Amino acid sequence: MAAAGATLLVATTCVGFAPADRTTESVFVCDDGIGFVVSFAPGRAKIVTRSGIYTIEARKASFGRRYATGDVAFAQDGDRVVLIGAAGGPFRNCTQAHAQ
């Protein structure tokens, strides 16, 4: 009976796992050498700064990408980025870092 319970636990754990191929990650560098990382997933983004982690929801955008929840907002148009309300800033004149 214990073996059946263990098998059920493993099956339940595997079902909840989200595939990594639906998430993309970008690094942004801002004035004063500060920066942050954004992981984009369908309908949401996770932002990691040196002082906090935020999960924000996708919003309609007339250009680029836009996400917002509460006091935190992120917008991207090409390499230009705005991050407002996140701890660890100010995040001014941010651009997407590219691999060299």
User: How is the chain split into domains, by residue range?
Assistant: 20-96
Share of the chain above pLDDT 70, in %: 77
Best CATH choice for the domain 20-96 from the list 2.30.30, 1.10.3470, 2.60.40, 2.40.128: 2.40.128
Report pLDDT digits (tens) over 81-91.
Answer: 999 999 998 89
What is the residue-wise DSSP string for the chain? -HHHHHHHHHHHHHHTPPPGGG-EEEEEE-GGG-EEEEEEETTEEEEE-SS-EEEEEE---SSSEEEEETTEEEEEETTEEEEES-TT----SEEE----
Q: Could you tell me the pLDDT band of residue 14, with boundaries at 50, 70 and 90?
A: very low
Mean pLDDT of 2-20: 34
Confidence (pLDDT) at 7: 26
